[in-house]
Amino acid sequence: MSKLLNKLGIIILVFLLHSPCFAEFSIDYAETSLIDGVYVLDAELNFNLTEVAIDALQNGVSLPLVLTVVVKRNRWYLWNKKITTIKKAYELKYYALSRQYSLKNLATNNKENFPNLYAAIDYLGKIEKLPLLKQYVLTDSIDKYWVYLQIHLDIESLPVPLRPIAHLSSQWRLSSSWYSCHLQP
């Protein structure tokens, strides 16, 4: 009986650790444009947090969210050449006393407060006129350049006691696939 319970416990543990994650991050739309000699990015991001992440957030754990944008030049030989990489890191936090959510841009330390989680996620999900690079940086015809985007929950920036759990659980591995679009004038 004891061996059966041990095997059953292992099966349940494996199921919990590898259960499919119904929440996911995604990039629904992205396009670039040229404004006053600078290429800018507009995008719509979708942050579907898991119940585990929402529960942790509401119990005092800040969620570090990162947008990575890479501009590359396609080449017919060897590998594509990376022109620039931009990382925008944010910290999503809940304040129980005021019952507000806070979204902090970690590069600028600008902080916005929101009355609910969905307002904060909606605000974070709209990227407008993000500067990528100046027009003179490009050396080839514009059709050879691509922009790649990805968003993810930065597990390494979570509190240290939570990191091993986050690495093992699919409920914490929240990341979008890479999304690509042409760099357009």
Q: What is the pLDDT of residues 144-181, one digit of tens each?
A: 899 999 999 999 999 999 999 999 999 999 999 999 99
- Whether residue 10 is contained in a domain is answered as no
Q: How many domains does the chain have?
A: 1
What average pLDDT does this structure show over 127-135? 94
Domain that residue 154 falls in: 23-182
pLDDT tens digits, one per residue of 40-86: 999 999 999 999 999 999 999 999 999 999 999 988 888 888 999 99
Asked whether the beta carbons of 130 and 44 are under 8 A apart, the reply is: no
Answer whether residue 3 is part of any domain.
no
Mean pLDDT estimate for the chain: 87
Is residue 155 situated within a structural domain? Answer: yes
Mean pLDDT for the stretch of residues 15-44: 80
pLDDT of residue 56: 95
Residue 94 clears pLDDT 70, i.e. is over it: yes
11 belongs to a structural domain? no
In a domain, 115, yes or no: yes
Whether residue 8 lies inside any domain: the answer is no
Q: Is residue 56 part of a domain?
A: yes
